[in-house]
Amino acid sequence: MTTTHETTPMKHRDAVGIVRTTLAKIGRYVFIGFVIVFFALPVLWLVTAPFDQAPALRLSVPEFTLQNFQVLIDNPYALRSMWNSVIIAVGTMAIVLVLAALAAYALSRVRVPGRDILLYSLLLLSSIVTGTAAMVPIFVLITELQLIDTYLAVVLVMAGGLLPAAIFILKDFMDNTPKSYEESARVYGASPLQILRHVVVPIARPGLATIAVWGVVQVWGNFLIPFILLRSPEQFPGAVVMFTFYTEGGQPNLALISAFSLLFSIPVVLLYLFVSRRYGFRFYGGIKS
């Protein structure tokens, strides 16, 4: 490169740079666009298909009708299964919340040798408990306990699977509550349960709310455990009942499935919005002062 031509290649290089950054930008937006479409399509289908006269596995402007919901109401299992889902979800959530709160509080306050190892191994094992690998032993266990075809079986197995993670998250909230709060209440004569009720629970409330919603969502969408542990169709929760919506010809009954899907997702969305507005979601503890 000679000195006389020094400016031209510099300009050239600038131009190349601009083109390159522009192309990179375009590429990035196109990629983001694809990702958005990928995630948005199912949601769009979810809100349009239920109102379509002939829903299919594609997106189209619906020929508006509420007929699909009429079919849904006429189905003997559809609405009942929603109620079953509520029972199982709320039952599991209640067990997880109470046990996890107490366990997390105790683990956070009492020195237990090997506590962290215990927590981490529980967390690791919990994914196996509710996972496919342990389904056979769980089925055998529940059969031996004569709990097969009961809500209790589903609730217990689901709660067992969720507890370690719940304890793990809540313990962080409890750890970040200064001990002096409790000691202060103790000096004024509060009993341990009063301390828990007046001080610890209110401070850990965002954590408890997060765990409650997370627990409900986990149970709400779970198919495998109720499918294996429940026998009678009138006990099936929504996630399992959806699996039975077929036409006589053996084709998926998309009218029923789409309407049910929309109905099935509404409670979770509402719950999420309510808790998010009321308490705010947080996965860490601590006090803002």
For another protein, which is the closer residue by CB, 34 or 281?
Answer: 281
Question: Does 288 contact another protein by CB under 8 A?
Answer: yes
Question: Does 58 contact another protein by CB under 8 A?
Answer: no
Structure tokens at 47: 């809100």
For another protein, which is the closer residue by CB, 210 or 253?
Answer: 210
Question: Does 208 contact another protein by CB under 8 A?
Answer: no
Question: Does 278 contact another protein by CB under 8 A?
Answer: no
For another protein, which is the closer residue by CB, 139 or 279?
Answer: 279
Question: Does 289 contact another protein by CB under 8 A?
Answer: yes
- Burial (0-12, 13-18, 19+ Cβ within 10 Å), 139: middle
On whether the CB atoms of residues 177 and 204 are closer than 8 A, the answer is yes
Cα–Cα distance, 186 to 193 (Å, whole number): 11
For another protein, which is the closer residue by CB, 21 or 194?
Answer: 194
Region binding another protein by CB under 8 A among candidate stretches 56-64, 134-142, 167-175, 196-204: 196-204
Minimum CB separation from another protein for residue 218, in Å? 28
Minimum CB separation from another protein for residue 272, in Å? 23
Question: Does 280 contact another protein by CB under 8 A?
Answer: no
For another protein, which is the closer residue by CB, 11 or 288?
Answer: 288
Question: Does 185 contact another protein by CB under 8 A?
Answer: yes
Count of residues engaged in binding another protein, rule: CB under 8 A: 21
Question: Does 116 contact another protein by CB under 8 A?
Answer: no
Candidates 82, 90, 125, 199: give the one binding another protein (CB under 8 A): 199
Q: Which of 58, 94, 71 is nearest to 263 (CA)?
A: 71
For another protein, which is the closer residue by CB, 161 or 206?
Answer: 206
Q: Would you tell me which residues interact with another protein (CB under 8 A)? A: 178, 180-181, 183-191, 194, 198-199, 202-203, 205, 287-289
